[in-house]
């Protein structure tokens, strides 16, 4: 089961990919997580990527393509994987087709007001990268997993969110048409709570 999760920032791709990963024992491959790890570690890739992510822009295609190709060669991907946040452009999509077989593409959709609420209330652990929402934190300011400080990321600020959505509509939405033509696209309206939306995803993938 090789899956791609598409959708605008803040729609829940990471949350649902993680739930699916835990349920079926296949890795969630998040290019965002991999890039943030490099940024935190101060690698050459991380420093180059930070200049783009701080402005809400996409990291250049070839950097991300090479990173994903190498990741899919790892042994834990043999039984399947979930690509979360990749591909994001048509060139990335075409490059992926050369080295990976995809079974289904789940396109999560939500209105802009839902997305602004999701991202505006998101808090991320500075140390381990775990994500939370203020609706579920009950005032907590530290990570339940490691005790690290919860921060409001620069790319989750209102002005940057709107810019990220503009970038998505311009560069990533064409992928929806691309995958619709292949017959792999499955649309899911993700405007409910986590449990409700995850149940919809399982249903459309025939994994109930």
Rama region for 7: left / alpha / beta (φ>0; ψ in -120 to 50; rest): left
**122 is known as an active-site residue:** yes
**153 is known as an active-site residue:** yes
Per annotation, catalytic residue among 36, 50, 122, 123: 122
Cα atoms in the 13 Å half-sphere on the side-chain side of 16: 32
Q: In angstroms, what CA-CA distances link 135 with 9, 79, 117, 120?
A: 18, 35, 10, 11
Per annotation, catalytic residue among 18, 153, 162, 180: 153
Per annotation, catalytic residue among 36, 50, 71, 88: 88
The whole-angstrom separation of Cα 82 and Cα 102 is: 10
**79 is known as an active-site residue:** no
Per annotation, catalytic residue among 13, 36, 50, 123: 13
Of the candidates 117, 132, 72, 41, the residue with the CA atom closest to the CA atom of residue 141? 132
The whole-angstrom separation of Cα 71 and Cα 96 is: 12
Per annotation, catalytic residue among 36, 50, 71, 164: 164
The whole-angstrom separation of Cα 36 and Cα 34 is: 6
**88 is known as an active-site residue:** yes
The whole-angstrom separation of Cα 182 and Cα 53 is: 30
**136 is known as an active-site residue:** no
| Cα dihedral: 90, 67, 84, 202 (round 10) | 100
The whole-angstrom separation of Cα 88 and Cα 105 is: 12
Question: What residues are annotated to the active site?
Answer: 13, 88, 122, 153, 164
């Amino acid at each position: 089961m090789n899956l791609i999760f598409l959708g605008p920032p803040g729609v829940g791709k990471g949350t649902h990919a993680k739930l699916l990963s835990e349920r079926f024992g296949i890795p969630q491959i998040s290019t965002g997580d991999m890039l943030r790890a490099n940024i935190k570690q101060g690698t050459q890739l991380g420093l180059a990527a930070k200049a783009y992510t701080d402005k809400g822009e996409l990291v250049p295609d070839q950097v991300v393509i090479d990173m994903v190709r190498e990741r899919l060669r790892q042994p834990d991907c043999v039984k399947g994987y979930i690509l979360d946040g990749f591909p994001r452009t048509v060139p990335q999509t075409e490059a992926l087709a050369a080295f990976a077989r995809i079974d289904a593409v789940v396109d999560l959709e939500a209105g802009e007001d839902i997305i602004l609420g999701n991202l505006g209330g998101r808090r991320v652990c500075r140390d381990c990268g775990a994500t939370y929402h203020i609706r579920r934190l009950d005032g907590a300011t530290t990570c339940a997993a490691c005790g690290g400080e919860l921060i409001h990321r620069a790319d989750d600020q209102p002005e940057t969110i709107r810019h990220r959505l503009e970038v998505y509509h311009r560069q990533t939405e064409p992928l929806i048409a691309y995958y619709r033509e292949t017959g792999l696209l499955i649309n899911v309206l993700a405007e409910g709570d986590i449990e409700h939306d995850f149940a919809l995803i399982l249903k459309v993938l025939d994994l109930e």
